[in-house]
Amino acid sequence: MAIGRRLTRIVRARRNAPGPVQDPGAVVAAAQREQEDRLDHARRAVADLAVQRRRTELLAVRASDEIARLSRQAEDAVARGDDTGARDLLRRAIVARERRDALHVRRGELDAQVQRLERSLGQVEERVEESRLRYLSVRAEQDAARASLDVRRALGESGRDAAEAATAAREAERAARELQARAAAYDELAWTDPDGPAVREAFEQLEHGREAEDELARLKQRRGIDPGR
């Protein structure tokens, strides 16, 4: 089954499963992880089969060495005139040869199986990689959409905050103008009242100012300084 169809089937199954509603992105991520776990399991299976192939090769080599050793021993037995011993060694060599031939056949079968599985595994890896890239693309689009939504929300909130700040500033300006108008009105009322404290203070400053000017002129005369200076 193609990886895309498997992902679709898994997502639909989890979507239709009873229980709380899940985030579609989380469901796709879980499905992708499941596919990658299956791929890792398949890789380990192929690796184990390759180990068996290598072990079979080593057993075949060991059988060949045993055949060569038994053949040399049989030749030595014949040279000694020990036909009985030679026959026994040759029978053992024949058994070892049959075992070696069987190991060669088994090694060929394992090699063909490993190569076939490696080709299939390569196709699965390509499909899982395509699925992973598609998942990353979808997640990037989701992240971009989420970021855009967050920015729009922030802009909306900042716009509301700015509007509230502008309203508060206008109210503060209006309150300040009212206070200034009240102060000006109090000042105007103080000057229109002849007995008011402002009028009395002004007359006192004017009178004291004249006295200070007269005292300054007399002081300059005593010092012999021109009063006009």
3-state secondary structure of 223: coil
Are 89 and 193 in the same domain?
no
DSSP 18: S
Distances (CA, A) of 217 to 106, 223, 227: 136, 10, 5
Are 85 and 184 in the same domain?
no
Q: Using one digit for the tens of pLDDT, what is the confidence trace for 59-118? A: 999 999 999 999 999 999 999 999 999 999 999 999 999 999 999 999 999 999 999 999
**Residue 3: CB atoms within 10 Å:** 23
Q: Which of 167, 187, 206 is the last residue of a domain?
A: 167
The answer to the question of residue 229 being in a domain is no
The answer to the question of residue 227 being in a domain is no
Share of the chain above pLDDT 90, in %: 32
Four-residue CA torsion sign, 143, 146, 148, 150: negative
Are 23 and 46 in the same domain?
yes
Question: What is the structure's pLDDT at 124?
Answer: 85
Residue with tokens 């080709």: 119
Q: Examine the pLDDT at 56 and tell me if it is beyond 90.
A: yes
Min mean pLDDT across 2-11, 64-73, 89-98, 193-202 is at: 2-11
Find the radius of gyration of the CA atoms of the chain.
53
Are 196 and 128 in the same domain?
no
Min mean pLDDT across 96-100, 150-154, 181-185 is at: 181-185
Please give the residue that has the higher pLDDT: either 141 or 108: 108
- The crossing angle, in degrees rounded to 10, of helices 3-16 and 24-80 is 130
Domain that holds residue 128: 3-167
Is residue 193 within 8 Å of residue 199, measured between CB atoms? yes
Angle CA 74–79–84, to nearest 5: 50
Report the domain count for the chain. Answer: 2
Question: What is the structure's pLDDT at 172?
Answer: 78
Question: What is the structure's pLDDT at 133?
Answer: 84
Question: What is the structure's pLDDT at 206?
Answer: 62
Instruction: Please provide the DSSP assignment of 70-109 as one string.
Output: HHHHHHHHHHHT-HHHHHHHHHHHHHHHHHHHHHHHHHHH
Residue with tokens 């196709």: 123
Please give the residue that has the higher pLDDT: either 173 or 120: 120
Are 46 and 159 in the same domain?
yes
Model confidence band, residue 170 (pLDDT cutoffs 50, 70, 90): confident
Are 158 and 187 in the same domain?
no
Angle CA 153–155–159, to nearest 5: 115
Min mean pLDDT across 90-94, 119-123, 152-156, 197-201 is at: 197-201
Residue with tokens 């090694």: 107
Q: How many residues does the chain have?
A: 229
Are 53 and 119 in the same domain?
yes
Are 161 and 119 in the same domain?
yes
3-state secondary structure of 172: helix
Mean residue pLDDT across the chain: 80
Rounded CA separation 137/129 (Å): 12
Question: What is the structure's pLDDT at 150?
Answer: 86
Are 29 and 121 in the same domain?
yes
Q: Using one digit for the tens of pLDDT, what is the confidence trace for 12-47? A: 565 555 555 567 767 777 888 888 888 899 899 999
Rounded CA separation 61/202 (Å): 127
3-state secondary structure of 174: helix
Question: What is the structure's pLDDT at 183?
Answer: 67
Question: What is the structure's pLDDT at 27?
Answer: 78
Model confidence band, residue 129 (pLDDT cutoffs 50, 70, 90): confident
Which helix (H) or strand (E) segment holds residue 161: the answer is helix 83-192
Q: Which of 147, 167, 187 is the last residue of a domain?
A: 167
